[in-house]
Amino acid sequence: MKTINQIRFVALVATAATLFGGCEKENTSPADHPFVEARITSVIDAMATRAAGTVWAHGDAIGITGKSGTTEYRNVKFTTMAADGIFTPDGGATGGIYFQNTDPVDFTAYYPYAGSKGTPAGKVTANADDQTAAGQAKYDFLFARATGSAAKPDVQFRFRHCMSLIVLNFLPGKGIPTLGDLQYAIDALALEGTFDTATGKTEGTKAKKLTRKVPSNASGMSSSLIVFPQQQNSAKIEVTLGDAVYSATIDYPENPENSRKREFAAGYSYTYNIKVNKSALTISPATIKPWEKGNGENGEDVPVWN
């Protein structure tokens, strides 16, 4: 997904006689003409990439909900088939969204699509155990609100992240010239929870221990995790390198916008640079660009011992 991705739909100003039956009055002004199709674009806040890559993937879909006049559009599915950021409604033009009168319409949209057209998706239950790129794409939830009308049919959604991102960078330290394959485990991460497709709210319901392997890579060893937002003081991390096992406590950062509670907040990323020394680890939060910075520009050092 690019930093600014336009989801362009073919704009179709349909005549009432063709698509919706007869109409005695024929108008040429878009503001006065009923049944104007919404043209929808989107951008993603503070995001250069998404879980599954830097661009939309073939078959990616969003769900849009809104009400124009007495016509309700519930969970209307739009899909990109060419993986080029151009989305079209399922069913072609007849499956699109049309303004029924001149009143403004409030829309909501979410990603990835769930359920079926005409039925609100409600709360989606998800499990974040699978932290592969393909797995993360299933629960890298996005949500947006926007307003449009027949006079202004260009509806722009500004999507925001609804999950939390943790990035772990592993670096060689004193007495360790290079890093080989390693494994780490983190306790008490919120890996099960729900996503409300109507409001964008995510909520963790179960914390688990997560174990991941990081293969040796000369260009850098990094592991990215997408988890449900959660509040707690700290989490224990264990790093296994060869026969040595290192353990440490990662402190959750205080959120000044939420009574200084320690948490991983929705839409924020938290990066830890983990330096593996011969006798200890040093963990330092660092700056993150793709999502909002959750633990400051410079972070703080956290000592770790084996």
* Within-domain flag for 295: no
**Contact criterion met (CB below 8 Å) for 130 and 46:** no
- 14: Cα separation from own chain's centroid: 34
Contacts of 160 (CB under 8 A, 6+ apart): 44, 45, 142, 143, 144, 200, 267
When the pLDDT of each residue in the chain is averaged and rounded to a whole number, the result is 78
pLDDT at 287: 36
pLDDT digits (tens, 9 = 90+) for 22-42: 333 333 344 444 578 876 655
pLDDT digits (tens, 9 = 90+) for 62-74: 999 999 999 999 9
Q: Give the domain-ending residue among 161, 195, 216.
A: 161
Same domain, yes or no: 114 and 183: no
pLDDT digits (tens, 9 = 90+) for 270-301: 888 988 888 877 776 533 334 655 655 544 44
Q: Give the domain-ending residue among 126, 161, 196.
A: 161
* Within-domain flag for 212: yes
* Within-domain flag for 276: yes
pLDDT digits (tens, 9 = 90+) for 141-184: 999 999 999 999 888 888 888 999 998 999 888 888 889 999 99
pLDDT at 56: 66
Cα separation of 262 and 117, whole Å?
A: 39
* Within-domain flag for 198: yes
Q: What is the CATH number of the domain that holds 182?
A: 2.60.40.2630
* Within-domain flag for 283: yes
Q: Give the domain-ending residue among 101, 132, 161.
A: 161
pLDDT confidence bin for 201, thresholds 50/70/90: very high
Take residue 89 and report the two structure tokens written for it.
């409604």
Rounded to 10 degrees, the C-alpha dihedral 157/114/82/146 comes to -10
Look at residues 27, 32, 30 and name the one whose alpha carbon lies nearest to residue 12. 30
pLDDT at 236: 92
Same domain, yes or no: 157 and 210: no
Structural domain for 241, as ranges: 164-290
- Across residues 39-47, what is the average pLDDT? 57
Same domain, yes or no: 69 and 117: yes
**How many CB atoms neighbour CB 234 within 10 A?**
14
- Percent of the chain whose pLDDT exceeds 90: 45
How would you label 59-89 residue by residue, b for 16+ Cβ within 10 Å and e otherwise? Answer: ebbbbbbbebeeeebbbbbbebeeeebebbb
